[in-house]
Structure 1
Amino acid sequence: MARKATIKDVAAQAEVSVATVSLVLNGRPARVADTTRERIFQAARELHYVPNQNARSLVTNESKLIALIVPDIENLFFIALAKSLEDLCSAEGYSLIIAGSDDSRIAEHNLMNKLSSRGVDGIFLIATRQSTAHEEGLREDVQHLDCPVVLIDRLADSHWCDGVGFNNRHGGYLAAMHLLEAGHRRIGCVSGDIGEGNANARRQGFLDALAEWGVSAEPSLLVEGDYRFASGYAAADQLIDNGATAVFCANDLMAAGFMGRLSERKLSVPDDISLVGYDNVVRRFGVMPEITAVDQNVDAMAAKCYRIIADRIGDANSARQNTATVSKPWLAEPMSEILLPTLVVRDTVRPVLVNGDGAVGL
């Protein structure tokens, strides 16, 4: 195997000092002639020189690594978010490390400590359901880290850390209102685990709209899922057999499961039942027909998250140059960005005429 070129090799070929090569290749201010700079870059290209990131980190206090911890690596929304964040990080010279906690509080705790010990410059964190329900342990973990943390999607109720999320209650309200305005009155809802804040908020927004229209929420039409395909599939029989004319699934993956069971029963959307999903990310993957859905703008969320963490990393590095400790402004003066979802209407909701307490198709 050929020996890997070093910075000394580049300096020897360019006939300059190692210090000059280091300044030029790291983009640091230096009084170096343009012809000399070009000679250094040319030598680096010819030798296929790859900078030693560990050595660079000792000088710059930056590893150029940012971590993303997600609770479910199979969730399409999290996958889409990871891709968008990766693109933003890459454009700015960062590499994104993606790790899954499998919605386990213990795994989340271990990952945060492990990634921090490996010198990541910052952590994007989508917390576990347990962490969002009982914040004390998560808050303690974040306080012990020296790198910035941005909470995503599942935010802390007391906003003690930087975070970016969507108004989930408004999203559930939009979904129900669309179905109500189309004439539906027997509307089913497949929520996430309502012990988790976002899932409960989406269902509560759904119930708000029903109450606004004077429509009772029938218990048999309210099913608790877990954001996975199987729970949408399992909910379908109960909702169909109890006469739902329309269904709101609180994420696209459960909507896919619901449609799968409909197909097995020789039923279809929207001819037999209308459907509204949530997230609007399936179009990125082509895994199912596009449906009417509440849209959480993944790219907008990623841009907000990246901007916050990039600014915090810059603040932390500046602080380290002046003091041995970091003031942790992401905890001392946390920023919270709450985005509004929108409704993307497609041909999966069929208008109906109201007839007494039920509804009949046009």
Structure 2
Amino acid sequence: MEKIRLRDIADALGLSVATVSNVLNGKDSKVSPATRIRVLEAVEGSGYLPERAEVLLGRNPSRMVGLVVNDHPEYSGHPLEDPYNARFISFLQRAAARHGLELLVKTARTWEEAAQFASIWNMAGLVVSGFCDADYVSLRQEMKIPLAACDAFSREAGFSSVTVQDRMGGRLAGEHLKSLGHSRVTCITTNMICDDFERIQGIRDAGLQTDLFMISGDRTIMREQFRKHDFSHVTAVFCVSDR
């Protein structure tokens, strides 16, 4: 099998060899986050990655941290273009740089993919976002490096999580609607688990009655559901997530 060269990757992406090289060497301050991610994903899928990893790890062991973002079907194949994820990656990249760390980003549908990604590199730690608690727990059991999860509720020993107070947020939204004179609210959501469930419970804590409008994660189907739904008697709507 012919060896993969940087030029092959650059040509496939329509980029210069210098841009690809700069991303791989961490000299990417002038490279957009989207381009950086494209390069890393292309390198990983090309077969060039293991060789590059061997060189980097021999020179700079444990200077890398990984980020795995859930490629949930609701993102329609574009999870890194979601405004929340894009800003999160941007801030995490700057935080990693302040500590002399390189950030590697990957999207995945399963925790097994995340574990495989982490095993390729000698990472100092892994950040995982958008999965459920059971996935985080399985990943923690599989890995020996530090793991930090976003929006997890598990209190498993050795398991770090950064999250917001979803239930309190729902209650504050409910109290606001109640102060405006509403006693009933239509909650629009795609599911009734994890943070979505907590936010709706918060609305109910405020003393509001709730009607659930369950929508599809598929945007085409979602639009049709909105078109057909009767909102004529609805006085207040609580959108559980930005999507």
d(CA) in 2 for partners of 1:87, 1:228: 33
One of 198, 205, 211 as aligned partner of 2:195: 198
2:129 — aligned with what? 126
Q: Is the 8 Å Cα contact of residues 232 and 249 (structure 1) preserved in structure 2?
A: no
Map residues 1-362 of structure 1 onto 2, 5 A cutoff: 57-58=57-58, 61-62=61-62, 64-72=63-71, 73=79, 74-101=81-108, 104-105=109-110, 108-129=111-132, 132=133, 135=134, 138-158=136-156, 160-194=158-192, 196-209=193-206, 211=207, 215-217=208-210, 221-225=211-215, 233=223, 234-235=225-226, 237-238=228-229, 240-241=231-232, 243-253=233-243
The higher radius of gyration belongs to 1
SS at match of 1:109: helix
Work out the CA distance in 1 between the residues paired with 2:167 and 2:220: 24
Structure 2 counterpart SS, 1:190: strand
Deviation at 1:238?
Answer: 2.5
Letter in 2 for 1:65: M
**How far is the alpha carbon of 1:224 from its aligned partner?**
2.4
Residue by residue over 1:39-65, the C-alpha shift from the partner in whole angstroms, topping out at 9 and shown as x without a partner, is xxxxxxxxxxxxx98556436532x22
Question: Structure 1 residue 77: deviation in Å?
Answer: 2.1
Higher relative contact order (CA 8 A, sep 6+): 1
The alignment's C-alpha RMSD in Å is: 2.9
How does the TM-score come out when normalised to structure 1? 0.44
Contact 1:190 1:235 in 2 (8 A): no
Match of 2:163, SS?
strand
AA matched with 2:122? G
8 Å contact 1:191–1:203 — kept in the other structure?
Answer: no
8 A Cα contact 1:65 1:94, kept in partner:
yes
Provide the secondary structure at the position in 2 that maps to 1:204.
helix
Q: Any idea what SS the aligned residue of 2:66 has?
A: strand
The offset of 1:68, in angstroms, is 0.9
Cα distance change, pair 54–138 in 1 and its aligned pair in 2 (3 A): same
User: Share of identical aligned residues, percent?
Assistant: 20
Counterparts in 2 of 1:154 and 1:141: CA distance versus 1, 3 Å: closer
Structure-2 change in CA distance of 1:179 and 1:116 (3 Å): same
* CA gap 1:94/1:126 in 2 versus in 1, 3 angstroms: same
Query: d(CA) in 2 for partners of 1:155 and 1:90?
Result: 28
Q: Which residue is equivalent to 1:329?
A: none
Partner-residue secondary structure (3-state), 2:106: strand
Gaps of 5+ in 2: 1-51, 72-78
TM-score with structure 2 length normalisation? 0.64
Q: 1:223 to 1:247 in 2, by over 3 A?
A: same
| Cα shift at 1:146 | 2.8
